[in-house]
A and B are shown apart, each in its own frame.
Chain A
Amino acid sequence: MQTFKLGGVHPPENKLSAESVIETLAIPKQVIVPVGQQLGAPATPVVNRGDEVKVGQLIAKASGFISANIHSPVSGKVFKIDNVYDASGFRRPSIIINVEGDEWLDTIDRSDDIDAEIKLNQKEIVNKLNEMGIVGLGGATFPSYVKLMIPDGKKVDYLIINGVECEPYLTSDHRLMMEKGEEMLIGATILMKGLNTDKAMVGIENNKPDAIEHLKKLATKYKGISIHPLKVKYPQGGEKQLIKALTGREVPSGKLPLEVGCVVNNVGTAFAVYEAVQKNKPLFERVVTVTGKSIKKPSNFMVRVGTPVKDLIEAANGLPEDTGKIISGGPMMGKAVLNAGIPVVKGTSGILLMPENEAKRAEPNTCIRCGKCVSVCPMGLEPFLISKSAKLAKFDVVEKEMVMDCIECGSCSYTCPSNIPLLDYIRLGKNKVGQIIRNRNQK
């Protein structure tokens, strides 16, 4: 069975919510919609305090090439535009809307009928994705339309649909493939048309045999799409690792997947693309997994963007007593949040409640030179060396050791027998080296 060659770890899977059917969460009384949900420039609000908005109405406009439109997830009145803590850990400008009813824009097709006929041409697809504010839902929230703009002279051989979901605990992509497989495959077909390619590969780890089976059955109807089971290994869901696993091609250092003729999109994104193009529905809701070892009802919810995390936890039968950390995302790459009032954004794939005994970090010891971090690094770096150099502020060494290639998967920190926070120091080095490179390029 296919997988990537270099490194990788096998954290306990803990897919507790794998069997939970996606439930639609009740609309909250108030939503907080941050304008900086996507990678790149924050959007500029186009509504004012007191304005009436409908579901799907544009409330913030993309400000720049790498940015995305933001649409109202609810109908109601704009309460205020203020700085609010979001998952980033900082107070960021957000549009706060008081919910009144659930009135959708007339242009959105709300029926459940599956529409497989693609009427738009390539250019229209790109414009549609831009207009509908579609971003990558795997977590990085990169604006999707930018991925479809292929520079002259480059050709896309494969569209790769990422259904790997290698993060432990998370099951939102798994459930989406099970329940919205058909729509997801149509979305993939739309993306294929947008990229002008006739081959698409869906990579799924074989810990989801039901999803593989289901999609294999459906994929016979769609030309050019093939389903590939992959051996379970973290971080297979990383763009570069997935390309390596499926095509055997290696993305050169510092280059985009396009360099090797591939474009990777998440299954969630493919579904959002389907909804945007066929149903004219902007991206304002997504599937979020709410899970944790002590949570009573691990669930998958279809959630409107801007819903406070506490509503999700409440719907999963409340916050367990022993909660030590609330993490937005998975346990490997997710980030602990400051409080339960932060809103769900386009990039929130899961909410993980960690029990107190697991949430605390172990006391770090000295490096015993076992080399485990080197052997698990999926990018072939030397984490011990980079982190030590970053700690000693030797950023020239950090740069020479290719820190910018680090995908921050955390395999090194996970595997370190001395509990050294390797990734923290690497990230510190990456930040500093990034600044140094930017300053150098400016000169």
Chain B
Amino acid sequence: MNEVLIYAVGSLGAIGIVAAIILYFVAQKFKVYEDPRIDEVEEVLPSANCGGCGYAGCRAFAEGLVKAGNMEGFNCPVGGADVMQQVAGILGLVADVTEPMIAVIRCNGSFANSPKKVQYDGISTCASASVLYAGDGGCSFGCLGEGDCVAACDFDAIHMNPETGLPEVNNKCIACGACVEACPRDIIELRNVGKKERRIFVSCVNEEKGAPAKKNCAVACIGCSKCFNVCPFDAIEMKNNRAYIDYEKCKLCRKCVDVCPTNAIHEINFPVRKLIVKEEKEKAKKDTSAAEAKEAVSTKTVVSKNTNEVNKTEES
């Protein structure tokens, strides 16, 4: 009995040793050198594997980055500037400063603005609906509301609002661009987050002429060029019967918002301008006494402070 045991252990052990020696030499022969910095870089990356950087995943991004040897054009939208600083520290490079971006929905064809004329009975994906018909409200360019963008988002940053039937982006958005890709109507655009998260954009992508556009949707861009004419910074471009605001040139003066006859231009996170402010100003002009004018100014600041607060609570 003991003999059998000894033989078994002995022979197995011998096979083990022989295999180990062979494996050792094979491993030496076929060794692949991998830059240890790839692992280090991957460690600091957020492991979201979203593809927002343009690479297949975080590992591929790290490999590409280490191989390239410079940081130009490399940006992890999930990690943002912090992570890129850390990566730069590991590689001993200087991080490419990129402005944070966010997805923006360029359609405001809610149930109220663009009433439903037909009922869609097919499968609920925009990709399918977009080849079948123009849309519930009749606009061939607007949001179909089937939520392909919501399904594409890995970050819980975009949701359908059941009241408007439109998607809404929240602050979790890291601008990976998955929704931009998923939208068959090309409505979603990545724009810069902007100073104090303030943004101005044309919330319409309709390319039809004014009359049919307006017929289908109350807040369509009708291509009237009023904003184009009023813009002091040459930031607005008129193309295919619609306006487009270049966010790099826009200085957020909001003149275009005021002149837009259909309210197609949206301002986000600005303190709410109330008529009171204007009235106060007019009052101030009329009144000759300096003391009253001072008072008016102080009320104005109070108003704007208050609205700022309101805005913040809304955001949170």
What residues make up the interface of A, taking CB atoms closer than 8 Å to B? 83, 85, 89-91, 335-336, 338-339, 360-361, 421, 424-425, 427-428, 431-432
A89 touches B134 (CB 8 A): yes
Give the number of A-B contacts (CB < 8 Å): 41
What residues make up the interface of B, taking CB atoms closer than 8 Å to A? 117-118, 121-123, 125, 127-128, 131-134, 138, 140, 208, 212
Name 19 A/B residue pairs within 8 A (Cβ), A-sorted. Answer: A83-B212, A85-B138, A90-B133, A90-B134, A91-B134, A91-B140, A91-B208, A338-B118, A339-B118, A360-B121, A424-B122, A424-B123, A425-B123, A427-B131, A428-B123, A428-B127, A428-B128, A431-B127, A431-B131
CB distance from B114 to the nearest CB of A (A): 14
Residue of B whose beta carbon sits closest to that of A335: B132
6 smallest CB-CB distances across A and B, nearest first, come from: A89-B133, A424-B123, A428-B128, A90-B134, A421-B123, A338-B118
Among A91, A338, A339, A424, which residue has its beta carbon within 8 angstroms of that of B128?
A424
B132: chain A residues within 8 A (beta carbon): 89, 335
Residue of A whose beta carbon sits closest to that of B127: A428
Given A83-B208, A338-B134, A427-B128, are A90 and B121 also a contact pair (CB < 8 Å)? no
B125: chain A residues within 8 A (beta carbon): 428
Given A85-B134, A428-B127, are A421 and B117 also a contact pair (CB < 8 Å)? no
In the assembled complex, the Cα of A335 lies from the Cα of B133 at a distance in Å of 10
Summarize A's interface: helix, strand, loop or mixed.
Answer: mixed
Among B117, B121, B122, B127, which residue has its beta carbon within 8 angstroms of that of A338?
B117
CB distance from A393 to the nearest CB of B (A): 9
B122 touches A432 (CB 8 A): no
CB distance from A335 to the nearest CB of B (A): 8
A432 touches B127 (CB 8 A): yes
In the assembled complex, the Cα of A428 lies from the Cα of B258 at a distance in Å of 42
In the assembled complex, the Cα of A109 lies from the Cα of B117 at a distance in Å of 45
CB distance from B58 to the nearest CB of A (A): 21
CB distance from A244 to the nearest CB of B (A): 29
Given A83-B212, A424-B122, are A90 and B128 also a contact pair (CB < 8 Å)? no
CB distance from A94 to the nearest CB of B (A): 13
A421: chain B residues within 8 A (beta carbon): 122-123
Q: Which of B121, B123, B133, B140 has the most CB of A within 10 A?
A: B123
A338 touches B133 (CB 8 A): yes
A90 touches B122 (CB 8 A): no
In the assembled complex, the Cα of A70 lies from the Cα of B123 at a distance in Å of 35
B128: chain A residues within 8 A (beta carbon): 424-425, 427-428
CB distance from B213 to the nearest CB of A (A): 11
B131: chain A residues within 8 A (beta carbon): 427, 431
In the assembled complex, the Cα of A335 lies from the Cα of B132 at a distance in Å of 9
CB distance from A160 to the nearest CB of B (A): 30
Residue of B whose beta carbon sits closest to that of A421: B123
B121: chain A residues within 8 A (beta carbon): 336, 360-361
In the assembled complex, the Cα of A431 lies from the Cα of B131 at a distance in Å of 9
In the assembled complex, the Cα of A428 lies from the Cα of B133 at a distance in Å of 14
B208: chain A residues within 8 A (beta carbon): 83, 91
B140: chain A residues within 8 A (beta carbon): 90-91
Residue of A whose beta carbon sits closest to that of B131: A431
Having A91-B134, A91-B140, one finds 7 other A-B pairs with CB under 8 Å, namely A83-B208, A85-B134, A89-B133, A91-B212, A339-B117, A428-B123, A428-B127
Residue of B whose beta carbon sits closest to that of A84: B212
In the assembled complex, the Cα of A4 lies from the Cα of B100 at a distance in Å of 61
In the assembled complex, the Cα of A85 lies from the Cα of B215 at a distance in Å of 14
Residue of A whose beta carbon sits closest to that of B151: A393
In the assembled complex, the Cα of A109 lies from the Cα of B107 at a distance in Å of 54
In the assembled complex, the Cα of A90 lies from the Cα of B140 at a distance in Å of 7
B138: chain A residues within 8 A (beta carbon): 85, 338
A83: chain B residues within 8 A (beta carbon): 208, 212
In the assembled complex, the Cα of A292 lies from the Cα of B47 at a distance in Å of 58
In the assembled complex, the Cα of A83 lies from the Cα of B125 at a distance in Å of 26
In the assembled complex, the Cα of A72 lies from the Cα of B20 at a distance in Å of 87
A338: chain B residues within 8 A (beta carbon): 117-118, 133-134, 138
In the assembled complex, the Cα of A336 lies from the Cα of B132 at a distance in Å of 9
In the assembled complex, the Cα of A74 lies from the Cα of B127 at a distance in Å of 38
In the assembled complex, the Cα of A283 lies from the Cα of B255 at a distance in Å of 55
In the assembled complex, the Cα of A83 lies from the Cα of B213 at a distance in Å of 12
In the assembled complex, the Cα of A233 lies from the Cα of B125 at a distance in Å of 32
B122: chain A residues within 8 A (beta carbon): 421, 424
CB distance from A414 to the nearest CB of B (A): 15
B134: chain A residues within 8 A (beta carbon): 85, 89-91, 338
Q: Which of B128, B208, B212 has the most CB of A within 10 A?
A: B128
Residue of B whose beta carbon sits closest to that of A360: B121
A91: chain B residues within 8 A (beta carbon): 134, 140, 208, 212
In the assembled complex, the Cα of A215 lies from the Cα of B276 at a distance in Å of 84
CB distance from B124 to the nearest CB of A (A): 10
In the assembled complex, the Cα of A219 lies from the Cα of B129 at a distance in Å of 46
CB distance from B299 to the nearest CB of A (A): 51
In the assembled complex, the Cα of A432 lies from the Cα of B128 at a distance in Å of 10
CB distance from B153 to the nearest CB of A (A): 14
CB distance from B144 to the nearest CB of A (A): 12
Residue of B whose beta carbon sits closest to that of A428: B128
CB distance from B141 to the nearest CB of A (A): 10
CB distance from A237 to the nearest CB of B (A): 23
In the assembled complex, the Cα of A432 lies from the Cα of B131 at a distance in Å of 11
B117: chain A residues within 8 A (beta carbon): 338-339
CB distance from A95 to the nearest CB of B (A): 17
CB distance from B113 to the nearest CB of A (A): 19
In the assembled complex, the Cα of A370 lies from the Cα of B243 at a distance in Å of 54
CB distance from A327 to the nearest CB of B (A): 12
A428: chain B residues within 8 A (beta carbon): 123, 125, 127-128
